[in-house]
C-alpha cells in the first residue's frame, strides 16, 4: 500500500518560478520531500523517501489541517467521534468563517458512542478558518478551526 | 472472516497483530496516542486514528475512545493484544455490546480468571493441582495463623485482585506473619482497590512453567506445549524457552491433559495460558491469563502454528484447523526480551534510536517496532524488541542465540542485550538448571 505521491502543482510552480526569476536551478526541501528543478533538460523530480521504508499511512485528518496543527488559535478535537457543524440536520451551522464568538460558545458537536458532546470556544475570538466537515470522523487532536 | 480489525494496543504486539491480519487479507485500524503518531504499525496499518494524548489512561486505556474509533472506522473486531485492556472484562463486554467482536474470551471468563481466588476454585473443581494454602480468602490474622500453621512456613500472602507477580508478601516464619498479612492487605487496597487476600505455601525453588491452550467455539481444545519462564526479575519475565529443559514427554502429556480437561469444563473461547509452579516433579496451578502472552513466539517457533491467526479465526467462529495429534514440536526456541534499560541498574532509558540493525539468518526472528530514527516514548513499558531464536536442539539454539545477540545493533539507547549475553553464558543456564529465584541471584552477584 506504500506509495510516494508526486505533487504536480508543486513541480509546475517551481518550474514557473525558475522561468520568472531566470535562475538555473531551484531546490525545494521539506525534510520529507525534496524537489529540484533545473534548466536544460526540463524539471527533474528527486523525491527522497523518509527514513522508514513504509510511507505514512492515510490518517483520517484532512491534509490542509495538518499545517495548522501548531497555530496558536487552533481548536482541536478533544475526543474521537463524528463531528457535526450544526445542532441538527438542516439547521444553520453553529459558526461560519468571519463570525465573532464568545468564550464557551458552542462551535461543533462531536458524537461519541451515542452521546453528543458540545465543543466550545476556549476563548473569545474570530473564526478565520474551518476545517471540520459535517458528519465526518475526527480523531483526537485533529484541528477543527482556527480562532484568532 | 472479519473485513477489518482494530488493534487496541501499541509497540511490537500491535505490529504482530497487524502482520497476522494482513496475511489473512484483513484491513487494519491502528489506534494510537499522540506519542505514537510515528510508530511502525501506525505507518503500516490501512487506517489510523489518534485516540488521545500520551498517558495510557487517556489513550490505550480509554475504553470510550477505542470504541469510538471502531465506530467511525466501521471495524468488525477488536484485538486487545496483551496488557492494557486485554484482561478488562468491562471492556470486553462494552465491545460486544457495541456490536464488535472482541478477539478473546467472553467477559465472564476474563472476570472469573481475574479474581485469583475464584480462578483457583474453578481449577480445583476441574481437578487441577493447586499450590497448597487457604481455601479462599483470609479475613483476619487469627485465620491467617491457623492456615499458615497447617500449610507450613514459609507462606505467601497474595492479593485476590492481583496477579502477574503483583501484590505478594512472604512470611518466612510465624514472627513475620502479622507484618506480612497487614502490609499485603494495605498494598492490595492501594493498588487494586480491593484488600482481599489469600495464602499459599511459598515454594523455595520452583520453575515457572505455563501451558498454552487454544479453544474454539465448537468445543475443541488443544494445548501447544509449555513454556519455561523461570528467568524473572521482580516478577517480570526476562527470557523464556520452549520446551522446558526440565520436562520429559510423559510429564508434558500429563500436564497438557490436565490443562485441556480444565479448559473444556469451562467452555472457554480463544487463546489462554495456565501458569504453574513446578517443583520436585509436581505441578501447582497459580493463575490463568485469558489473553495472548508476550512470549507466544517461542511456542510458534517450535510448533509452526500462528497463534494470533488462530485467535482471529476462532473469534470469527471458525473451528480449529488442526487436532491435538496434528501438533508436532520441532527443536527448541528461546526468546530474549530486550528492554530499553541499563543492563546493570535496569534504569529505563527512553530516547532516539540512532542505528538499528536486527540479526538475521536461519532460525532468527525479531519482533520489534523499532526503526532507525525512532524515538522511544517514555510513557510506556520498556520492551522494545523480542529476539526469538530456533534450533534443532537446545544446544544449536544457544549457539545461534549467542551469534544473534552479537549481531544485534540498537544504538542511541541502552538496552539489556549485554545482560542477555552474560546470562546465556552462565553454566547454570547452559545446563538448564535454574528456578524462579535464579536470575535475581545472578544479577545480585553481578553487582
Domains and CATH numbers, chain B: 4-103 (3.40.50.20), 132-201 (3.30.1490.20), 207-446 (3.30.470.20)
Question: Predicted confidence band at B166 (pLDDT cuts at 50, 70, 90)?
Answer: confident
Please state the rounded mean pLDDT for residues A3-31. Answer: 76
Q: How many CB atoms lie within 10 A of CB A86?
A: 15
Cis? peptide before B157, omega within 30° of 0: no
C-alpha to C-alpha distance for B434 and B154, rounded to whole angstroms: 20
Does the structure show a pLDDT above 70 at B200? yes
Mean pLDDT of the region B402-406: 98
- Residue in B with minimal Cα distance to A56: B43
Residue A19: pLDDT over 60: yes
Question: Is A54 near chain B, with CB under 8 Å?
Answer: yes
Q: Write down the mean pLDDT value for chain B.
A: 95
Residue B214, C-beta contacts closer than 8 angstroms, at least 6 positions apart: B221, B222, B223, B224, B270, B271, B272, B307, B310, B311, B314, B320
First and final C-alpha spacing in chain B? 53
Question: Tens digits of per-residue pLDDT, B271-294?
Answer: 999 999 999 999 999 999 999 999
DSSP letter, residue A6: P
Mutate to test the interface with A, among B50, B100, B357, B368 (most CBs of A within 10 A): B50
Rg value, chain B, Cα: 21
Q: Does residue A51 have a pLDDT over 80? A: no
Q: Mind listing the domains of chain A with CATH numbers?
A: 1-58 (no CATH), 63-147 (2.40.50.100)
Query: Which band of pLDDT confidence, cut at 50, 70 and 90, is reported for residue A59?
Result: low
What confidence tens digit (pLDDT) does each residue in A105-124 have? 999 999 998 899 999 999 99
Determine the average pLDDT of the residues in B157-163: 89
**pLDDT higher than threshold 50 for residue A91:** yes
Q: How many contacts (CB atoms, under 8 Å) link A and B?
A: 75
| Strand ranges of the sheet holding A25-29, from the earlier edge strand across to the other edge | A25-29, A34-38, A43-44
Q: What length does chain B have?
A: 447
Tell me the percentage of chain A whose pLDDT exceeds 90. 48
Burial class (CB in 10 A: 0-12, 13-18, 19+), B245: middle
CA distances (Å), origin B10, targets B41, B76, B79, B382, B402: 8, 19, 11, 12, 29
- For residue A33, pLDDT over 90 is answered with no
The verdict on B373 touching A (C-beta cutoff 8 Å) is yes
Confidence band, pLDDT 50/70/90 cuts, at residue B445: low
Are A57 and B53 within 8 A, CB to CB? Answer: no
Cα nearest neighbour of B52 on chain A: A140
Is the CB of residue A60 less than 8 Å away from at least one CB of chain B? yes
Average of per-residue pLDDT across A122-136: 95
pLDDT of residue A147: 95
Q: What pTM, to 2 d.p., does this model score?
A: 0.86
Q: Nearest C-alpha of chain B: how many angstroms from A84? A: 13
For residue B81, give the nearest of B165, B18, B158 by alpha carbon: B18
| A60–B47 CB contact, under 8 Å | yes
Q: What's the pLDDT score for residue A36? A: 79
Positions of B marked active-site: 291
Average pLDDT over residues B153-178: 90
| Closest-CA residue to B98 (of B123, B128, B125, B77) | B77
Q: A77 vs chain B: nearest CA distance in angstroms? A: 10
Q: Residue B114 has what pLDDT?
A: 92
pLDDT at A101: 97
Inspect the interface and report whether the beta carbons of A51 and B371 lie closer than 8 Å: yes
Helix axes B89-97, B63-73, angle to 10 degrees: 30
Express as a percent the part of chain B with pLDDT over 70: 99
Q: What is the Cα–Cα distance from B125 to B114, expressed in whole angstroms? A: 17
Amino acid at each position: 500500500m506504500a506509495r510516494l505521491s508526486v505533487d504536480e502543482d508543486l513541480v509546475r510552480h517551481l518550474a514557473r518560478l525558475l522561468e520568472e526569476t531566470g535562475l538555473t536551478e531551484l531546490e525545494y526541501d521539506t525534510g520529507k520531500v525534496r524537489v529540484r528543478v533545473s534548466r536544460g533538460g526540463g524539471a527533474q523530480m528527486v523525491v527522497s523517501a523518509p527514513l522508514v521504508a513504509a510511507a505514512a499511512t492515510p490518517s483520517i485528518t484532512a491534509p490542509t489541517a495538518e499545517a495548522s496543527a501548531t497555530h496558536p488559535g487552533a481548536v482541536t478535537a478533544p475526543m474521537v467521534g463524528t463531528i457535526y457543524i450544526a445542532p441538527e440536520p438542516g439547521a444553520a451551522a453553529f459558526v461560519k468563517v468571519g463570525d465573532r464568538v464568545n468564550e464557551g460558545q458552542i462551535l461543533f458537536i462531536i458524537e461519541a458512542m451515542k452521546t453528543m458532546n458540545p465543543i466550545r470556544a476556549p476563548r473569545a475570538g474570530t473564526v478565520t478558518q474551518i476545517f471540520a466537515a459535517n458528519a465526518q470522523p475526527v480523531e483526537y487532536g485533529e484541528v477543527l478551526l482556527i480562532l484568532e | 472472516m472479519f473485513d477489518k480489525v482494530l488493534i487496541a494496543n501499541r509497540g511490537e504486539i500491535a505490529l504482530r497483530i497487524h502482520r497476522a491480519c494482513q496475511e489473512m487479507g484483513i484491513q487494519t485500524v491502528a489506534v494510537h496516542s499522540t506519542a505514537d503518531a510515528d510508530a511502525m504499525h501506525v505507518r503500516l496499518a490501512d487506517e489510523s486514528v489518534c485516540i488521545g494524548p500520551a498517558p495510557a489512561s487517556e489513550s490505550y486505556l480509554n475504553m470510550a475512545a477505542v470504541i469510538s474509533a471502531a465506530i467511525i472506522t466501521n471495524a468488525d473486531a477488536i484485538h486487545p493484544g496483551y496488557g492494557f485492556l486485554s484482561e478488562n472484562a468491562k471492556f470486553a463486554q462494552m465491545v460486544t455490546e457495541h456490536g464488535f467482536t472482541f478477539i478473546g474470551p467472553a467477559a465472564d471468563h476474563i472476570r472469573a480468571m481475574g479474581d485469583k481466588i475464584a480462578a483457583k476454585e474453578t481449577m480445583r473443581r476441574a481437578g487441577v493441582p493447586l499450590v497448597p494454602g487457604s481455601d479462599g480468602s483470609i479475613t483476619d490474622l487469627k485465620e491467617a495463623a491457623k492456615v499458615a500453621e497447617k500449610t507450613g512456613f514459609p507462606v505467601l500472602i497474595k492479593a485476590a485482585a492481583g496477579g502477574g507477580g503483583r501484590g505478594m508478601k512472604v512470611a518466612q516464619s510465624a514472627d513475620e506473619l502479622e507484618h506480612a498479612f497487614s502490609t499485603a492487605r494495605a498494598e492490595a487496597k492501594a493498588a487494586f482497590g480491593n484488600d482481599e487476600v489469600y495464602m499459599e505455601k511459598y515454594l523455595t525453588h520452583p520453575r515457572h512453567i505455563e501451558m498454552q491452550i487454544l479453544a474454539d467455539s465448537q468445543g475443541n481444545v488443544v494445548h501447544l506445549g509449555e513454556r519455561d519462564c523461570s528467568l524473572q526479575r521482580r516478577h517480570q519475565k526476562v527470557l523464556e524457552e520452549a520446551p522446558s529443559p526440565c520436562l520429559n514427554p510423559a510429564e508434558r502429556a500429563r500436564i497438557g491433559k490436565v490443562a485441556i480437561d480444565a479448559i473444556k469444563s469451562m467452555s472457554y473461547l480463544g487463546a489462554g495460558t495456565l501458569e504453574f509452579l513446578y517443583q520436585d516433579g509436581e505441578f501447582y496451578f497459580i493463575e490463568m491469563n485469558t489473553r495472548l502472552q508476550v512470549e507466544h513466539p517461542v511456542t510458534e517457533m517450535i510448533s509452526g502454528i500462528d497463534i494470533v491467526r488462530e485467535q482471529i479465526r476462532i473469534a470469527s467462529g471458525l473451528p480449529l484447523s488442526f487436532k491435538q495429534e496434528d501438533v508436532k514440536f520441532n527443536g527448541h526456541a528461546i526468546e530474549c526480551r530486550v528492554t530499553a534499560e541499563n543492563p546493570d541498574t535496569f534504569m529505563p532509558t527512553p530516547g532516539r534510536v540512532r542505528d538499528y540493525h536486527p540479526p538475521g539468518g536461519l532460525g532468527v526472528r525479531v519482533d520489534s517496532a523499532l526503526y532507525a530514527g525512532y524515538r522511544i516514548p517514555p510513557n510506556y513499558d520498556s520492551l522494545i524488541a523480542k529476539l526469538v531464536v530456533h534450533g534443532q536442539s537446545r544446544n544449536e539454539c544457544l549457539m545461534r542465540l549467542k551469534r544473534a545477540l552479537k549481531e544485534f545493533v540498537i544504538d542511541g539507547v541502552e538496552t539489556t542485550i549485554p545482560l542477555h549475553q552474560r546470562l546465556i553464558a552462565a553454566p547454570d543456564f547452559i545446563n538448564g538448571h535454574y528456578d524462579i529465584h535464579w536470575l535475581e541471584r545472578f544479577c545480585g552477584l553481578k553487582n
